[in-house]
Amino acid sequence: MTDYPITGTHRTGTFDDAVLAAVAHIPRGRVMSYGDVAEFIGSSAPRAVGRVLAASGGEWDGKPVPWHRVLTASGRCAHHLEDEQLQRLRAEGVSVTDGRISMRRYRWDGR
DNA sequence: TTTCTGACACTAG
DNA sequence: CCTAGTGCCAGAA
């Protein structure tokens, strides 16, 4: 099995853990695209990232994960989550225009 | 082992 | 802006 870097630790582990760890490190008011997260952990499978978040139930290691900070590359939300996600983002000071977020402004590069 | 399915990305038209 | 096609890869069936 391939090992993936686990952000914030000095370890590697499963794809799932790497994804959740990465998401858990996205700062308040910043966002990342599914592709960014994948790339960040050394993968090229953005779809797999979504799968992990869906299965996570919103938490990792018993702690809540800021899944709402992950959107599509075009700054849109997943359809079934639109309301909740936009609401949470606005609460962090992220401006939402016409249901979209400006990636140019809020994208987080990993530090 | 083969097949199918995503909270996706990208290119073309 | 929208649709279609292709690539992607980890899991579940």
Q: Does this model's pTM top 0.85?
A: yes
Nucleotide nearest to A14 (CA to C1'): C10
Does residue A46 reach within 7 angstroms of strand C, measured from its CB?
yes
Q: What is the pLDDT of residues A31-75, one digit of tens each?
A: 999 999 999 999 999 999 999 999 999 999 999 999 999 999 999
SS (H, E, C) A55-106: HHCCEECCEECCHHHEECCCCCCCHHHHHHHHHHHHHCCCCEECCEECHHHH
Nucleotide nearest to A67 (CA to C1'): B7
Q: Which pair of structure tokens corresponds to residue A61? A: 């290691």
Nucleotides of B under 7 A from a protein CB: 6-10
The Å distance, CA of A11 to C1' of C4, is: 41
Residues 6 or more apart whose CB falls under 8 angstroms from that of A110 comprise A40
A71: left (phi over 0), alpha (psi -120 to 50) or beta: beta
